[in-house]
A = this chain, B = another copy of it.
Amino acid sequence: MPITANNPNRKSWLEIEPNSDFPIQNIPFGVFLTKENIVTVGTRLGDFAIDLGALQQLGYFEGIELTDDVFLQDTLNDFISDGKKTWRLVRNRIADIFDAENPTLRDNKKHKDVVIFNMKDVEMQLPVYIGDYTDFYSSKEHATNVGKMFRDPENALLPNWLHIPVGYHGRSSTIVPSGIPVHRPMGQTMPADATAPVFGPSRLVDFELETAFITTDANIMGENIPINEAEEYIFGMVLLNDWSARDIQKWEYVPLGPFLAKNFASSISPWIVTMDALEPFRCAQPKQEPTPLPYLQQKGDHAFDINLQVAITPENGEETVVCDSNMKYMYWTMSQQLAHHTINGCRINSGDMMGSGTISGPTEDSFGSMLELTWGGKNPLKMKDGSERKFINDGDTVTMRGFCKNESVRIGFGEVSSKLLPPIPTK
């Protein structure tokens, strides 16, 4: 079935800024709350939020097999369960409905009044209920930087890294959408010169620039997803700020991995950009040497050319861009990650989220964390207001943006933006 929604020549009858992340070729999916306290599944065109539940009730999805309440929900999980064919039919249909040449909704003021909202009048929610959250560690540049700093500069990559898309489980209960502030965590750390650990606020709160993909139901327990089918089960992507407390992490993470250093908060952008919308930006992944085991081998292009950016805005201050990276630098592809995750029979459900791990590029300004950008705090970053940052200060807002662009279209993610607040006093 062709992805007619991707037609680069199509224009919408809705007014959309030329440089918007959300042209009619994007059509992401999300969940929003209206001023009338109604939660609904929606899409976004320019600065308009579109109520898909209302569209369906008005008959605009006729002919597509959908349950009556699939959009009248507070998560996308049921819709995602419907599978790739349905996602494509719905997205193609939405493009038709808002096509400049299609008068049906365009000329129906009554319908438009209940379907179209201004983005400033809605509040974005988490788009999915995330049953399980996995975070990978798939940027070679990031793993190398961390290895150089904390282990052996001569043998920065651990022996398994080039053979396995290394990953670990994260915490679902503290994944929040863009806009929700995050509190600096309290915790136990071992200062360099101390003989016993101390308790207090983390002194080294960091962001991690990541993307994440959202899956559909893919297998029963015990079955694997072969790598050549993996992309069929990926619904779309979001931006992910995997907040990290480096001092807590350093003291706790051996031998079972990061725990409290990560699970105080993970922030995501609220619109899931579909893999269909990203299809024009597919590109070659980095060459993998040594060749991975057969269950991780794939032909063709499986990386995506997604520009990524991180900015820090001090309290009442001006924004400073601190990192420009790109998702295409990732060594392991999303299909390799999903094939690996299920090779042991691990069950994947609709709404599960899998993070890329920090995406660092090859140059110093493309490193995806303050840890790397300041090289462990040794080289503080200069902010536009003259202040310096080794890590994130209370009152700072961290904003991540992502977009793809070619000669004819720009497909963006919007942003994930969250402010770091001081700790809540310990009870």
Residues of A within 8 A of B (CB): 131-132, 137, 158-160, 163-164, 166-174, 176, 182-183, 185-188, 190, 196-199, 202, 221-226, 229, 245, 248, 251-260, 263-265, 290, 293-295, 340-341, 343-349, 352, 421, 423-424, 426-427
Contact = CB atoms under 8 A, between A and B. Distances in A.
Given A223-B427, A229-B427, 18 more contacts: A137-B256, A164-B188, A166-B252, A168-B256, A169-B171, A173-B221, A173-B348, A174-B221, A186-B344, A188-B293, A196-B290, A221-B264, A222-B264, A223-B424, A224-B427, A253-B257, A260-B344, A295-B426
Contact of A183 (B132, B137, B222): B222
A123 B348 CA distance: 24
A158 B255 contact: yes
Contacts of A427: 223-226, 229
- A contact face: mostly helix, strand, loop, or mixed: loop
B224 A426 contact: yes
B263 A173 contact: no
Contact of A169 (B254, B259, B294): B259
Contacts of A260: 340-341, 343-344, 346
How many monomers of this protein are in the complex? 2
4 nearest interchain CB pairs? A257-B257, A185-B344, A169-B169, A183-B222
Contacts of A255: 158, 166, 253-254, 257
Contacts of A248: 344
Contacts of A222: 182-183, 264, 421, 423-424
Most buried by B among A137, A168, A196: A168
Contact of A252 (B160, B258, B426): B160
A77 to B, nearest CB: 13
B252 A132 contact: no
A254 B160 contact: yes
Given A256-B257, A257-B255, A345 B168 contact: no
Contacts of A182: 222
7 contacts: A166-B252, A168-B259, A183-B221, A185-B344, A202-B344, A224-B426, A255-B257
B186 A343 contact: yes
Contacts of A229: 427
